[in-house]
Structure 1
Amino acid sequence: MRLVIATCSVDYAGRLSAHLPLATRLLMLKADGSLLVHSDGGSYKPLNWMSPPCTLSVMEPDDDQRAAGITEVWRVTQAKTADMLIVAVHEILSDTAHELGVDPGLQKDGVEAHLQKLLAEQIELLGDGHTLVRREYMTAIGPVDILARDGAGGAVAVELKRKANIDAVEQLTRYLELMNRDPALSPVRGILAAQSIAPQARTLAEDRGIEVLLLDYEAMKGVESRIPTLF
């Protein structure tokens, strides 16, 4: 990544036109070819930018531009649309380059995979006597997040969501219909487990005999002592 602090003006030409008058700005050139123009404000959002695929050409100013104080002209051209971002550089105050390497990507905390792992490890949160059979129990229409047995040996299918809505209830209903056709499992009880559950989803679940489990992710990680409540 190349980071340039420069006094410059910026013009965008293409399907729309935009102009940034002369000021000191941060020009961020990324390895993917994109160019972003930032000011010292506006949080993460650039004032203007050109997304890849694009190419950067650095040109000498003509006589009129040089007379206006321009030392070099950056022309960034979008390969697909031919839109152009033109940066007229008057003075470069700082110019640094950094090799950042391959980014592993954003790893979100509290996603459904984390909830599944924690609930499998704390299967007793489903109720006393529950034991884990397996995670990702495969059915003909996809995997059920958790298959467990209750204290009486009955099968329990658990569908996990961060935010459960009516679609989650419908999904678990379809799993239960299939699983209850298997004599080795039937009868199968359903539990919808989530960090938050829409009122309509709760009503539909209760109408279909599906239990609802509210999960406290922080408590499950051991950060707090609150215990999820089974309704």
Structure 2
Amino acid sequence: MRLVVARCSVDYVGRLTAHLPSAVRLLMVKADGSVLVHSDGGSYKPLNWMSPPCWLIEEPGRWVVQNKAGEQLQIALEEVLTDVRHEFGVDPGLTKDGVESHLQVLLAEHVATLGHGWSLVRREFPTPIGPVDLMCRDADGRSVAVEIKRRGEIDGVEQLTRYLELLNRDPLLAPVQGIFAAQQIKPQARTLAEDRGIRCVVLDYDILRGLDSGEFRLF
């Protein structure tokens, strides 16, 4: 990674033209060849950039970044304040906590959270249009399909509705009830689910992990 802080102006020449007047900016050159122009604001989004494959041509007081299509990022360097390089090595990538797969594993391990005497039949229970997250049986032995989301929205309810329609065609499973489980459920999704006879369950991720000694809060 090369980081250059410089007073510069920037012109993009390609399918359209764009101009950044003279100002102090951060020029970022990554190992993959991409070049990004940042200001001290605007969060993570660069003011302009060139994505790889591209190459950087350095001339006195001027950078030209060009790609295979002939588009150019032309940077006029008026004053270079800092120019440093850092070797980052291989990045291990982002590990997300609390994603749907984690919730599925935890709820499968604590399926009694959904009701006393409940049991897990299978995770990723197959249907012709894809697997439903959990297939369970309640205390009376009835089939219950559980769809799990981090954030419960209407699309998730529609997805579970399609699963239930197909699962209820199987005489060995029918009647199959549905549970829509999420860390947050939007009011519109809750209304639609309840209108279709689907029970909504709000999951507390920390409690499922055993980080809270209180009772599970299911709403």
Settle same-fold status: TM greater than 0.5. yes
CA 1:166–1:19 in 2, change beyond 3 Å: closer, same or farther?
closer
Q: 1:35–1:50: 8 Å Cα contact kept in structure 2?
A: yes
Question: What is the percentage of aligned positions where both structures have the same residue?
Answer: 61
Please, what TM-score do these two structures have when normalized by structure 1?
0.82
- In structure 2, what is the equivalent of residue 122 of structure 1? 110
SS at match of 1:17: strand
Aligned with residue 75 of structure 1, among 30, 44, 64 = 64
CA contact (8 A) 2:99 2:150 kept: yes
In the alignment, structure 1 segments of 5+ residues that lack a partner are: 61-71
Q: Aligned residue for 1:52? A: 52
Q: Deviations over 1:164-204 (max 9, x none)?
A: 23332232222222222323322222111112223333233
Question: Residue type matched to 1:32 in 2?
Answer: D
> 1:85 Cα deviation (Å)?
1.6
Report what 2:82 is aligned to: 94
The alpha-carbon deviation at position 91 of structure 1 amounts to 4.2
Question: Which residue, 180, 187, 197 being the options, matches 1:192?
Answer: 180
Distance 2:140 2:147 in 1: 20
Distance 1:162 1:50, change over 3 A: same
Q: Distance in 1 between matches of 2:188 and 2:20?
A: 49
Q: Tell me the secondary structure at the aligned position of residue 161 of structure 2.
A: helix
Larger radius of gyration: 1
With over 3 angstroms needed to count, the CA separation of the structure-2 counterparts of 1:174 and 1:10, relative to structure 1, is: closer
Instruction: Write the distance in 1 (CA, Å) between the matches of 2:82 and 2:114.
Output: 59
For this pair of structures, how many residues does the alignment match?
A: 217
Output the CA distance in 2 between the equivalents of 1:35 and 1:41. Answer: 18
Within 5 Å, give how 1:37-186 maps onto structure 2: 37-60=37-60, 72-80=61-69, 82-186=70-174
What TM-score does the superposition give when structure 2 sets the normalisation length? 0.86
In structure 2, C-alpha distance between the alignment counterparts of 1:48 and 1:168, rounded to whole Å: 36
Contact 1:2 1:96 in 2 (8 A): yes
- Cα distance, 1:145 vs. partner? 0.2
Counterpart Cα distance in 1 of 2:20 and 2:175: 68
Give 4+ residue runs of structure 1 displaced > 6 Å after superposition: none
Alignment RMSD (CA, Å): 2.3
